[in-house]
Structure 1
């Protein structure tokens, strides 16, 4: 029993890591599409897209790992969760496909109208994908109706005011990450403009974090007791304190400090703390209030077989991802490329 519990927890942590890496890597990538409507010049849009061109396609690797790992390691949770959020899942996948096609085709568009159309597809795909991910998160947090070992809710249960608030918060957060990324990668007038936009999206992100946090506490009965039970309060109590400190540091880096990398790094830390807070809110459940991780887990032998492959492949994925970002780590010059 101890062996299987350890393996279940290991798989839960691995999947949480995969989802977090996807959120922060594809987050700023999608954020660039969210910022696109605010930049009308072709040269600006080309520069923004070139800043992620070398790395964007590999970010979805982590989404595949998270979804595939959930199916393999926690099949019961997968079987319950997917029917509950089929519409936003389908919308997200179609948006990511449309966005990927637009990313490639806009460079080959012959006419001005065709390029504008693909730009519009890139914007729509980015916004819909981000909004869908937030709605899926909201649907998960608000609770899923389960009967026996199957989803027992309706087709539209995922669509609630809370899930929409979560969706808008994710759009704001991704826009903020995208602006911080561009602030780090670009120079000149466009960098000044994205830095100003980062300030606005930063405020919107903080509002979203507070709104989602308060609504989650109101929706989940007993959550306050879980957060403030001893000795877990030693960890949970640090989350809001660290969030406030990072928010203050971000305010200084965006409004006073001139360092280009710091807002992006602090933005990643802000997302990490939000992710930790969400994890503490649902632990140890695979489906909040309904199914625990151990109830949803695959047999121990199946978990072990897959985990051996995962611990071999994940470091390889991390290595080539880190190498790609290291190679293209400098500023982007419109005429010379990276330097």
Structure 2
């Protein structure tokens, strides 16, 4: 099928450009919404109301803007790769619907905790915020695992069952993402807070980071056996030479992460920022490893990015809009993060 396609000129480059843009949008979402979901995941470990207030205030200016990238990624997939969207969505209806409900539940709880009339009400809204964060993170991991392990396709349509997304591997990736987001949340608090909450963030970062490293190792060990193409990329020569830098860099960043964490003094500056930056690097390398396994498939073992792409005229038209919209989003996001830079204290408020 692929040899019969015209893959010259823009017919080749437009799907490639859009695949990169959508992949970046999803990665930005995972990083940016990951740490504020991580704040909710860490809520059960913060027994003091004052600590929870500071933790929420640290993400209050940015949390809703972080989800812009999820909309951009999902909308881009629908518009530019409609075949992939039509196959993937029915396969993942249940986890994606639960994820959206979790995000909505969490968003409502985020706002309502500040409107609570007493501490009992606020405690229940805090629990709702935590539960929504955990559900959203877990179902995102479930969807990722179900997608990676393969979707049954017949012709140009999904041919699997309603519960195909629920497997031991997808549950593993669900747990892995919850733990990984918890690590991001702890590192964010380590960077943005001081005093007792900073010290608690350091203590929480250790077990969540160890869990994340274990999850990366376990998922990486299983991945090559999910699809023959994955095994070819990771276990055969000379392909493994191209893939080898990823695990080597992961090992290096793991060492740098725990080194930075052990040397944390709570004095502020870049010393507090390094664990968060390195944690983002671990997520980036894990994402790169996924790309190494899947490329150029947009639906594993079924369709390449070129086979699933919309007509070039549609892609070009949408690319003009993206060329205007994406720089605006990046500029606004960068400005907001710069505007609210620095440590968050108990005097910082959200209204």
TM-score bucket (shorter structure): over 0.9
CA distance in 2, matches of 1:116, 1:268: 31
TM-score by length of 1: 0.97
Unmatched 5+ stretches in structure 1: none
CA distance in 2, matches of 1:119, 1:189: 20
2:340 to 319, 324, 328: 328
CA positional deviation for 1:227: 3.5
**Does 2:291 match 1:291?**
no
CA distance in 2, matches of 1:109, 1:257: 36
Q: Is the CA contact 1:228–1:237 (under 8 Å) kept in the aligned structure 2?
A: no
The size of the alignment, in residue pairs, is 338
Which range is displaced more, 151-160 or 287-296? Answer: 287-296
**Does 2:225 match 1:218?**
yes
1:298–1:336 Cα change, 3 Å: closer
1:125-147 CA distance string (max 9 Å, x none): 00000000000000001000001
1:334–1:123 Cα change, 3 Å: same
CA distance in 2, matches of 1:222, 1:277: 13
CA distance in 1, matches of 2:313, 2:165: 34
TM-score by length of 2: 0.94
2:116 matched residue in structure 1: 109
Partner SS state of residue 296, structure 1: coil
CA positional deviation for 1:202: 0.3
1:241 matched residue in structure 2: 248
CA positional deviation for 1:337: 6.4
1:95 matched residue in structure 2: 102
1:184-222 CA distance string (max 9 Å, x none): 000011101111100110000001101111111121224
Q: Is the CA contact 1:138–1:163 (under 8 Å) kept in the aligned structure 2?
A: yes
CA distance in 1, matches of 2:36, 2:83: 32
Q: Is the CA contact 2:106–2:129 (under 8 Å) kept in the aligned structure 1?
A: yes
1:260 to 254, 260, 272: 272
1:194 matched residue in structure 2: 201
Q: Is the CA contact 2:224–2:234 (under 8 Å) kept in the aligned structure 1?
A: no
1:300 matched residue in structure 2: 312
Unmatched 5+ stretches in structure 2: 1-6, 266-270
